[in-house]
A and B are shown apart, each in its own frame.
Chain A
Amino acid sequence: MTAKDNGRIETARTRHEADRPSSALVLFGPDTPLKLDSGATLDRWQVAYQTYGTLNAERTNAVLVCHALTGDQHVANVHPLTGKPGWWSRMVGPGKPVDTDRYFVICPNVLGGCMGTTGPASTNPDTGQPYGLDLPLVTIPDMVRAQAILLDHLGIETALAVVGGSMGGMQVLQWAAAYPERVFAAIPIACGARHSSQNIAFHEVGRQAVMADPDWAKGKYLAEGKSPRKGLAVARMAAHITYMSDKSLHAKFGRQLQDREAPTFGFDADFQIESYLRHQGVTFVERFDANAYLYMTRAMDYFDLAAAHGGRLSEAFKGSRTRFCIVSFTSDWLFPTEDSKVITRALIASGGNVSFVEIDTDGGHDAFLLDEPELFATVDGFLRAAAHARGIH
């Protein structure tokens, strides 16, 4: 089989997940339209989600997990495309901090994603063709609005907690601001109330890499049977650097060479870090849709919670009774601790109930996905206290 054939098969599987995912699926019709910030409305849309644990009789133990840019709903189960463990299986599971023996965990694929919730890789019901760029742009508030409708559908009025890191953390903040009465506790991790200029810049590099690939075909690659694999891989490589700290990169790879004794005096992947990044890029395109990457990075860029509340972040949380636990990591330079402090100060100013923990680690932005005992202890203790306060024992 040629590489091209491999690519076709992967594309076919990815397409299949986009329309008929290996997850629970809810289809919404014109009686439940989804109004988007852009002004557009989706009359027919769908949400794919995974659940773990059991909803209690009082319906008070639901924990909503919001995934990050390159994540999906497969939090704690084997991924249907990669065969790898769930992206947060260290955090979510029986006896884990988000204990599925105690809590009912829900993780939906975000709007604009490519794992079964309506996104640019989904089939446009009006044309029978993949949406591509015909899907209206979506925002973080749009993603959260879709999740709120899913919770309505599941009969969950108030979540015990909404938890997430990075883009997931942005959704947590949006949840707490838009539906304060539906969020008993909120755990935004390694995120900010807005995307910084530097963050937008990195995203733009990634998008340009995708769009510069001729196989992107102006966004119509699915209809034309192509895939901008190289562009998306480069985007992933560039982004992946921002998820790690200089220290962790150097500790992991240093200047070590890849399967060779000396440099080859060429542009092959001489260094281990090059080989690692190439691998990250190649494996990413197997499970991710390039247009979804464009849509979701854009959603993050547009996020600015203070701007949506007259320029004052504290207004976003005014009168909120949600218990917040904000977590940052010392070596995260994508969403530095100061971003979390801004949120903390806004919550203090609005009289909110807030805890703020900065965790000392070399793990960089991706530390929220890694084995960080302090993070687990924090989430475990905070969730237990929240559950206790809500009368769950």
Chain B
Amino acid sequence: MLETTRRNGVRADLRLIGDLIAPNSRVLDIGCGNGELLQFLQETRGVDGRGIELSQKGVNECVARGLSVIQGDADRDLVHYPDNAFDYVILSQTLQATFRPREVLEQMMRIGRRAVVSFPNFAHWRIRGALLLRGRMPVTKALPHSWYDTPNIHFFTLRDFVDLCGELKVTIEQSVALDRRGEKIAFRGPWWFWNLFGAQAVFVLSQPSARRDSPSS
């Protein structure tokens, strides 16, 4: 998970995602871990939250703290949800660990009116530098695993992600690049700039308007 600074005892990435979610909306958090984000959103945003988590330990912790969470994973279990079941589907730091990222993103856009996706940017200058100068797979704060035990099997860059959004014809409503400390990069530069200096990125995507207006089932 993303290591970020805490302010007022709340993790920066939770606060950041919280700011993107409209109050009282229906939210699915894919890979919800021990439920920290879901609980934060329920308490501060009053959302109707659901979660999917792969680890049994995580699921049990979530349910024991009163959250609605099922055991499952992004690759296999999104297909069971009806269209437009949620206002937001959140995938935090997980897309690069899925087997079929494109299908996962498509499913997210089908079941949610909006998707919130955060991911590590493989084109950050430190990663580029590590590969260029040291000739080794980079191990950084945002990507702390060695190549042989990393759960991240589909690395991509911020610009790759923008391209995929174009291919899937989804609208990028908001985008935020984060520095190594998980703080927002205030300067809104062109994509190449963020692609070089953003260690992480958070995107809010929405369905094309025709789909978004269709009635929920």
Q: How many residues of B contact A (CB 8 A)?
A: 21
B63 and A325 within 8 A (CB) = yes
Q: Contacts of A385 on B, CB cut-off 8 Å?
A: 65-67
Which among A13-21, A25-33, A246-254, A357-365 touches the partner chain?
A357-365
Q: Contacts of A345 on B, CB cut-off 8 Å?
A: 77, 80
**CB proximity of B174 to chain A, nearest CB, Å:** 27
Residue ID in chain B nearest A386 by CB atoms: B66
The reply on A378 being an interface residue by CB < 8 A is yes
Which among A34-42, A123-131, A263-271, A348-356 touches the partner chain?
A348-356
Q: Given A348-B81, A356-B59, A360-B56, answer yes or no on A380-B64 (Cβ-Cβ < 8 Å).
A: yes
A sample of 6 cross-chain residue pairs with beta-carbon separation below 8 angstroms, ordered by A number, consists of A323-B68, A355-B62, A356-B70, A359-B56, A359-B60, A385-B65
Residue ID in chain B nearest A345 by CB atoms: B80
The reply on B217 being an interface residue by CB < 8 A is yes
B70 and A355 within 8 A (CB) = yes
Q: From A355, A356, A388, give the contact of B67 (CB < 8 A).
A: A355
Q: Given A349-B80, A356-B71, A358-B56, answer yes or no on A381-B217 (Cβ-Cβ < 8 Å).
A: no
B66 and A381 within 8 A (CB) = yes
Taking CB atoms and an 8 Å cut-off, the chain A residues in 320-368 that contact chain B are: 323, 325, 344-345, 348-349, 351, 353-360
Q: How many residues of A contact B (CB 8 A)?
A: 24
Taking CB atoms and an 8 Å cut-off, the chain B residues in 81-126 that contact chain A are: 81-82, 85
Write the residues of chain A forming the contact surface with B, with a CB cutoff of 8 angstroms.
323, 325, 344-345, 348-349, 351, 353-360, 374, 377-378, 380-382, 384-385, 388
Write the residues of chain B forming the contact surface with A, with a CB cutoff of 8 angstroms.
50, 56, 59-60, 62-72, 77, 80-82, 85, 217
Q: Contacts of A355 on B, CB cut-off 8 Å?
A: 59, 62-63, 67-70
How many Å lie between the Cα of A380 and that of B60 in the bound state? 11
Given contacts A353-B50, A354-B70, A355-B69, 8 further A-B contacts (CB under 8 A): A325-B63, A349-B81, A351-B217, A357-B71, A374-B60, A381-B66, A382-B66, A388-B66
Q: From B56, B64, B72, give the contact of A381 (CB < 8 A).
A: B64
Q: Given A349-B80, A351-B217, answer yes or no on A358-B66 (Cβ-Cβ < 8 Å).
A: no
Q: Contacts of B68 on A, CB cut-off 8 Å?
A: 323, 353-355
Residue ID in chain A nearest B217 by CB atoms: A351
How many Å lie between the Cα of A141 and that of B173 in the bound state? 50
How many Å lie between the Cα of A201 and that of B56 in the bound state? 32
**Which 10 pairs from chain A and chain B are nearest by CB?**
A385-B66, A381-B64, A356-B70, A377-B64, A348-B80, A345-B80, A355-B63, A355-B68, A378-B63, A357-B63
**CB proximity of A389 to chain B, nearest CB, Å:** 9
**CB proximity of A349 to chain B, nearest CB, Å:** 6
How many Å lie between the Cα of A66 and that of B39 in the bound state? 31
How many Å lie between the Cα of A378 and that of B65 in the bound state? 8
Residue ID in chain B nearest A375 by CB atoms: B60
A381 and B63 within 8 A (CB) = yes
How many Å lie between the Cα of A110 and that of B82 in the bound state? 36
Q: Contacts of B67 on A, CB cut-off 8 Å?
A: 355, 385
Q: Contacts of B85 on A, CB cut-off 8 Å?
A: 351
B64 and A358 within 8 A (CB) = no
Q: Contacts of B72 on A, CB cut-off 8 Å?
A: 356
**CB proximity of A176 to chain B, nearest CB, Å:** 15
Residue ID in chain A nearest B70 by CB atoms: A356
Residue ID in chain B nearest A376 by CB atoms: B64
How many Å lie between the Cα of A30 and that of B204 in the bound state? 63
How many Å lie between the Cα of A359 and that of B70 in the bound state? 12
How many Å lie between the Cα of A385 and that of B65 in the bound state? 8
A357 and B66 within 8 A (CB) = no
Residue ID in chain B nearest A378 by CB atoms: B63
Q: Contacts of B81 on A, CB cut-off 8 Å?
A: 348-349
Q: From A349, A358, A374, A377, give the contact of B71 (CB < 8 A).
A: A358
**CB proximity of B186 to chain A, nearest CB, Å:** 39
**CB proximity of B159 to chain A, nearest CB, Å:** 34
How many Å lie between the Cα of A374 and that of B55 in the bound state? 14
**CB proximity of B204 to chain A, nearest CB, Å:** 23
**CB proximity of A43 to chain B, nearest CB, Å:** 43
How many Å lie between the Cα of A325 and that of B64 in the bound state? 11
Q: Contacts of A381 on B, CB cut-off 8 Å?
A: 63-66
**CB proximity of B55 to chain A, nearest CB, Å:** 11
Q: From B50, B59, B77, B217, give the contact of A357 (CB < 8 A).
A: B59
How many Å lie between the Cα of A359 and that of B60 in the bound state? 8
